[in-house]
Amino acid sequence: MKLFRSFIVSSLYCAASAAHDAHVYVFDPVPRTSPQAATTVDATTARLILAQRLGLSRFHSIEKTRSEESLKQINAFGGRQQKLFGGEDADRTQAHALVWIEGVEAAEAIVQDSGLWSSKFTIANPPSASDNKHLIEDMILQAESLPKKSDPKGATYHSNQYIDHQLSELRQPQLFNDYLTILHIDLKAKDKMAKPSLDRLGDIISSLQVAAPKENRFAVTLVVMPPSSSNSKRAASPYGSYDRPNLEARREMTEAPMSLSTSEPSTSPNSALPSDLEDFPVITQAEGNDTTPPLGILPRCFASESACTTSTNGCSGHGSCGILHKGKKGERADCYGCVCRPTVVDRGDTGMEQHKKTTYWGGPACQKKDVSVPFWLFVTSGVLFAFLISGGIGLLYSVGSEELPSVIGAGVSGPVRK
């Protein structure tokens, strides 16, 4: 009797836990040779499987997934991967339909004939509806950040039209990056949107993957989530960690085109100046008392003192604008440019002497250090030292090659024979 009671209790417990599991049904246009048997996965493995099916694997790392069984499940349910240099994959449709339904008591009410699907698996201890919504939003961002998929024959376009026509009877789906259609329905939500019946859901979803044209067959992923319990404890990241692209940062990194001097009348040289200065690109400078050295190629002359000050940022704080050359009447206007001034830095007194460092500036905006004096001093010193060394070596060589005088030779002569 006790054995019978324990059997009933365990059966009821298993039935209750199975009722709170999530079910995922997948349909692939090109199924595997043998259909995959149903299995149970955790939330992290389910996320990796969905990312593999939706083409978002680059944002989801499997480094932390060390279980060999999890890798087998990802390969089994991740769908058919396109070949890197495959020719037949270019003609196939890239469309994918993701139907996510929340708050379903029994998955059998929607999927009446599971044999129409390629395979299915179960998610044990599924996350809450808010976590599921967050995952869907992140996958949408990931799909939108991908480059556009090639569709030379328009197969993906026709498949998307068919998906939109079928699912719009339930609720208007959303298309992302021209290949991923997502329909998210929460039957337990308190919004005022009309919620379809379970029978209607089952009929439309079945027709989605059965009645589709054979030439434009597309992949379908159906996720059926049970009602989430408000009393159960949830993990901080039930689906694990993954990369979330920032589309706003990518939009801010858009490079602004460089404008020519002729398009900015306030910074462009006067038309009376020589023609070799009219095509120089000028970078628009910041307003205010900015003394940052300007970038780009600056003209040698400016039409006015204000144009010179604006374009050179006040000569980079190392000088002031003034007239460089007086113009001739009827031929050319006055030439305004930067007059650079040296920068003197006082290093303090050391004994009887006062040390100061003087820096000279040059360039059209006084933005470059003038190192001509140190350069020529270094070159002149180097040439002088080289001349002295070579002259000393030549002098030593010439002295050693001279013959000895005859007086020294006489003093060392041998004895005279008697």
Write out residues in the chain with pLDDT < 70, as ranges: 1-19, 31-38, 63-66, 81-91, 192, 194, 209-215, 229-235, 247-291, 329-332, 347-354, 404-418
Torsion, Cα of 131, 133, 135, 136 (10° steps): 170
Amino acid at 142: Q
The CA distance from 55 to 94, in Å, is 10
CA-atom Rg of the chain in angstroms: 41
C-alpha–C-alpha distance, residues 226 and 203, integer Å = 20
CB under 8 Å to 95, separation ≥6 — which residues?
155, 156, 159, 160, 163, 179, 180, 181, 216, 218, 219
At residue 302, what is the residue type? F
Count Cβ atoms within 10 A of the Cβ of residue 9 and give its class: 0-12 exposed, 13-18 middle, 19 or more buried: exposed
What is the rounded distance in angstroms from the CA atom of residue 24 to the CA atom of residue 38?
10
Write the Ramachandran bin of 250: left for phi over 0, alpha for psi from -120 to 50, otherwise beta.
alpha
The 10s digit of each residue's pLDDT in 219-255 is: 899 999 998 755 455 667 888 888 888 765 444 444 4
Residue 274 burial (CB count, 10 A): 10
DSSP 245: -
**How many Å separate Cα 408 from the centre of its chain?**
89
pTM of the model: 0.55
Residue 313: half-sphere exposure toward Cβ, Cα within 13 Å: 20
Residue 121: C-alpha distances to residues 12, 43, 324 (Å): 21, 12, 81
Tell me, what's the pLDDT at 373? Answer: 80
Quick one: angle between helices 129-144 and 43-53, nearest 10? 30
Largest CA distance in the chain: 155
**pLDDT digits 0-9 by tens, 313-334:** 888 888 888 888 777 766 667 8
User: By percentage, how much of the chain surpasses pLDDT 90?
Assistant: 17
Size of the chain, expressed as the number of residues it contains: 418
Nearby residues of 25 by Cβ (< 8 Å), 6 or more positions away: 111, 114, 117, 119, 120, 221, 222, 224
Residues 6+ apart with CB under 8 A from 139: 50, 51, 54, 56
The pLDDT of residue 63 is: 67
- 362 forms beta bridges with 368
Q: Which residue has the tokens 């328009």?
A: 154
Q: Collect all residues with Cβ–Cβ distance below 8 Å to 365 and sequence separation of at least 6.
A: 293, 294, 298, 311, 312, 313, 315, 316, 338
Spatial separation of the C-alpha atoms in residues 100 and 132, rounded to whole Å:
9
